[in-house]
């Protein structure tokens, strides 16, 4: 059939994956900062540090939720692009298959027509030859009748 094609053979898939990896690296760096800060606050904090730690946890959760939403959006866009690409590919394959089948049927019909034509020509030649022989025989008989008078 041909080479096996994976999703990574499509440029937009690899670009999207590269963007996703960069985004995840960025989010990891962003999330590492507050975690280290929260650890420091919870160990040596007094009074107002607890509120800051809770704020950082809330911010971290919000960032994680946004990151997950962004990842889901990217997956949905990729799915839509892949679906369109697959539909296009399947449509092209179907068109090619139909064209090939049409050519096969057309060739088959042409061959059958040629056989019928050859058969008719042969039969015509046989009938023509038979008629010529009969006409010659009739002429011989008629000529013999004329010659006998």
pLDDT digits (tens, 9 = 90+) for 104-142: 999 999 999 999 999 999 999 999 999 999 999 999 888
Torsional class of 4: left (φ above 0), alpha (ψ -120 to 50), beta (otherwise): beta
Quote the radius of gyration of the chain (alpha carbons, Å): 44
Tokens 């008078």 correspond to what residue?
A: 149
Neighbours of 41 (CB within 10 A): 20
The SS3 call for residue 3 is: coil
Would the pTM of this model clear 0.95, i.e. be above it?
no
d(CA 45, CA 54): 12
28-67 per-position pLDDT tens digit: 677 666 555 455 545 444 445 556 677 778 878 888 888 8
For residue 47, give the DSSP letter: T
State how far the Cα of 39 lies from the Cα of 83, in Å rounded to an integer: 45
Q: How many CB atoms lie within 10 A of CB 99?
A: 10
Whole-angstrom distance, CA of residue 67 vs CA of residue 73: 10
């Amino acid at each position: 059939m041909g080479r096996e094609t994976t999703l990574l053979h499509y440029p937009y898939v690899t670009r999207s994956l590269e963007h996703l990896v960069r985004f995840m690296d960025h989010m990891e760096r962003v999330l590492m900062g507050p975690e280290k800060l929260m650890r420091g606050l919870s160990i040596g904090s007094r009074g107002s540090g607890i509120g800051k730690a809770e704020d950082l946890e809330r911010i971290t959760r919000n960032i994680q939720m946004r990151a997950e939403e962004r990842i889901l959006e990217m997956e949905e866009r990729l799915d839509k692009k892949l679906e369109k690409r697959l539909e296009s590919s399947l449509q092209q394959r179907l068109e090619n298959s139909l064209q090939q089948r049409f050519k096969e049927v057309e060739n088959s019909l042409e061959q059958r027509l040629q056989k019928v034509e050859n058969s008719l020509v042969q039969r015509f030649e046989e009938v023509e030859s038979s008629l010529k022989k009969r006409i010659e025989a009739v002429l011989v008989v008629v000529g013999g009748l004329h010659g006998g008078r």
